[in-house]
Chains A and B, each alone.
Chain A
């Protein structure tokens, strides 16, 4: 792991055109180059370069790939991961062949779907009749029991099919049954008349007729459902048979898309190919070796150090250990650090876990979080394509850390599911909140004091990190005179010292030492000079002149804003950490409340209240503590040193991982 962003190098290479394809494959496999367009050469040289668009547009390849994906999805097929693609399998694209295959597959699928639709519609008709019989809405049913005097019942059945009617042929004593819906009476009557229908007057036979018709409907429903589902299985089977071919096409299309993406950055002369891109310094040798080997040594490679390029043009890669991945995501979610500055991930990890442990300090509940985290992570590992719900794979991973932090917090403060089963290693949080503690930490004010000190440490660390960043960026002016620079830090420090002295005096007076006066006044005056000095430096760099009035006005306004931000901003930032104590106290109070409620009853109810109480606290307080920790990191910690002005390193390739 590097404490700072990964050092980068800009590669510019020229290879013979004949070896372009081999180089593309090799770079694709390596996935280390974040390509840039070659557009900064002198115009006369640029004029000699051409770009080439692929014979098959990337959009067409994408459309074709989407078609393959749609067909594969019908067969419940999981698509291969990009990392598993093999460049050596890259074959020429046969778009016409692919189209023909997909068209023919789609046509067959559509035929199956149409048959499935017919089955479904048959089923809907049967279900409607069944429903009316089941719900006793016999007024909608047209049930006839009797005999045909001429013609075949089968012919009647055929003619009743379009309206969903059924005929049960009579056997022995059982007369023939005709079942339709009463709404179709205008169609049924003439048909039955035509076949010489005689209605039976036997009440028993009528009753039995309904029962026979119900059984028939049931068996028809079973058969049609089976037929419909079988068609669905046929769809899946058909795609399964073509699976390997379709996956092969998908892989080839994907590889071609990536190659095309790489080649879109290439420029060409008559016989050579030029390209350029950023590579982390530690991978430079590997990339150079790959290009040399792919081009048979017939290439020219030049490296430019990132230091000689404008910082804002250099992509940023950070290397955090795999273990810190959940915290890396928190950083990515916020923004990308500037090139050459501190990698915030390890600091966030420590700060976040400390904050969470202070807010959610319970070893038992922490253990539950740990279990959820471990179980969830294993579940996602077992089935990587599992649809992510509220508990995403990343959150499960984070819960493992939070669970451990909570366990440590619980041991420090002696809380196990809200009970002091083991003595606290530091102080008993519950006793302090309930007012029964006799140790060094006796009241909630002491807890508030601890969290404020913790906040001062976090803000102080943020300022120090900012100074390191500014030092590395050689921004001396900002380093000294910014509100987060040394002057701002000094005022923060003086404020902390004066604040503690004020508390020590019983909230009566500030320190009487003349040091306080000078310690505040000198930086304030320096800050007033910041605007003027800034203008002078800008002028030296050649910026436009401003009138004296404007310079004075700007400087004074900037000074006032800076003072406001330093005095009220730092105070607010520090007091904001009181939420850590607030949530910790709320956590204890809730557990005490549930324990009291459980004590009012006994036996199973008591246990039930404790279980429900713990579950509620884990869900609500856990969420609350997680969000507040994130908020403190984003607003109180990051704002001190993390500008987020960087651009992310995004290499193109099969095994690209900007964070490795």
Chain B
């Protein structure tokens, strides 16, 4: 069996060198401080994101530019998986499945928009990544499907088919895509956890530490958004929860679910393990308690603001925790999958910041607003 040092020695050195190159935040700062979208994109010209700027020069289309970013991200995962072997390589491919699932969700959303909502999707299909990511999915078939069965046919032979088969055209028309998308996410988290079990002790510990918090905060977000805002029943909420992490299956979650929807307070879920976040969300929860069940536009608007603030607060916290975890991993024992995960995180973070800066400039947001959404 390969030793950890021989397995991770090369990739560790390679990724650390790349991390050293990407740490510079001045590019994002310059983008944020630019006077317009056109100027912001030009900042990328002399960086490793030059193809993004070239795509914008050629097309003037920020969605084309986002597709270039996605292509780069997929290529990066594939490259890293190529440097690994055995279970760690399989694990990286599972991480790549998340991108595939997101791409699948986007493709199904377009199908939904066209067939169910009768909105023209025209050129929008071109922004879907159409190459093979992990599984053989017929992307063109999804985008051109007229019947739901054709969508199912397009994903036949993939792990996504059993999930999508649980839904019918009528149920989608009736309930929308939310539950299906959540089921796909759950499928991925389950696969991730199953795959993590096959890793070495050190690798497993790194994965569990990072994704445990991820699952906790995703569950909390779900409970806040759908437990309080959309007021779903306890039973439906339970079905949405992602197994894993420290909150799922705890007594706190049972207490939360047994509460009346207007009284559901996320700090109850957070106070034991994420005390500082609980304090921050508590302040927002106080405001939410003052709102009635009215469907008045002003009340709804205020509710929207509150839910956005809660989501942002939790996402910012998640981002902070992840960063802390990854910096710890980078300063610790080098020959684990942790370094690979840290690289993925930092790469995605940089991508997200660039996306946020571009979107912010496109919508004419202020510098503060852009920085705020850069989780």
A interface residues (Cβ-Cβ under 8 A, vs B)? 63, 66-67, 69-71, 73-74, 99, 102-103, 106-107, 109-110, 112-117, 119-122, 124-125, 127-128, 132, 137, 139-140, 162-164, 181-187, 228, 231-232, 235
Contact = CB atoms under 8 A, between A and B. Distances in A.
21 contacts: A66-B39, A67-B39, A70-B34, A70-B38, A70-B43, A103-B35, A106-B35, A112-B60, A113-B38, A116-B60, A120-B60, A121-B61, A128-B126, A137-B140, A140-B144, A162-B122, A164-B122, A182-B144, A182-B146, A184-B120, A187-B118
A116 B56 CA distance: 10
Nearest to A183: B144
B126 A114 contact: no
A128 B34 CA distance: 35
Contacts of B38: 70-71, 74, 106, 109-110, 113
Contacts of B56: 113
B114 interface: yes
A194 to B, nearest CB: 16
B61 A116 contact: yes
A301 B203 CA distance: 67
Contacts, number: 108
B369 interface: no
Interface in B53-110: 56-62, 64
Instruction: Tell which of B40, B115, B120 has the most Cβ of chain A within 10 Å.
Output: B120
Contacts of A107: 36
Contacts of B125: 128
Contacts of A124: 123, 126
B39 A70 contact: yes
Nearest to B145: A183
Contacts of A164: 122-123
B122 A125 contact: yes
B59 A117 contact: yes
Contacts of A66: 30, 33-34, 39, 43
Looking at B35, B45, B58, B115, the one whose CB has the most chain A CB atoms below 10 A away is: B35
Contacts of A117: 59-62
B122 A163 contact: yes
B37 interface: yes
Contacts of B30: 66
B143 interface: yes
Contacts of A115: 60
Contacts of B182: none
Contacts of A110: 36-38
Given A121-B61, A125-B123, A73 B146 contact: no
A116 B37 contact: no
Nearest to A107: B36
Contact of B61 (A103, A120, A184, A232): A120
Report, nearest first, the 9 A-B pairs whose CB atoms are least far apart: A116-B60, A70-B39, A113-B60, A124-B126, A106-B36, A70-B42, A124-B123, A120-B59, A140-B144
Contacts of B122: 121, 125, 162-164
Nearest to A181: B144
B33 A71 contact: no
Given A69-B42, A70-B42, 13 more contacts: A63-B33, A70-B38, A70-B40, A102-B35, A106-B36, A106-B39, A110-B38, A113-B37, A113-B56, A114-B60, A115-B60, A120-B58, A163-B120
A63 to B, nearest CB: 5
Given A106-B35, A109-B36, A74 B123 contact: no
Given A73-B42, A74-B57, A182-B144, A187 B120 contact: yes
Contacts of A185: 146
A113 B62 CA distance: 10
Contacts of A114: 60
A185 B144 CA distance: 10
Contacts of B123: 121-122, 124-125, 128, 164
A533 to B, nearest CB: 42
B305 to A, nearest CB: 30
Nearest to A185: B146
A183 B114 contact: yes
Interface string B120-147: 1111011000000000000010011110
B297 to A, nearest CB: 30
A249 to B, nearest CB: 13
Contacts of B145: 183
B149 to A, nearest CB: 14
Contacts of A73: 42, 45
A119 B58 CA distance: 11
Contact of B59 (A70, A106, A228): A228
Contacts of B37: 110, 113
Of listed A99, A112, A120, residue having the most chain B CB within 10 A: A120
A137 B154 CA distance: 14
A220 B169 CA distance: 36
Residue of A74, A102, A164, A232 contacting most chain B CB atoms (<10 Å): A74
Contacts of A187: 118, 120
Contact of B146 (A106, A132, A183): A183
Contacts of A109: 36, 38
Nearest to B50: A387
Nearest to A68: B39
B42 A74 contact: yes
B62 to A, nearest CB: 8
A139 B141 CA distance: 10
A184 B57 contact: no
Contacts of B39: 66-67, 70-71, 106
Contacts of A228: 58-60
A232 B58 contact: yes
Contacts of A63: 33
Contacts of B144: 139-140, 181-183
A270 B126 CA distance: 68
A114 B56 CA distance: 11
Contacts of B114: 183-184
B147 to A, nearest CB: 11
Contacts of B57: 74, 232, 235
Nearest to A76: B57
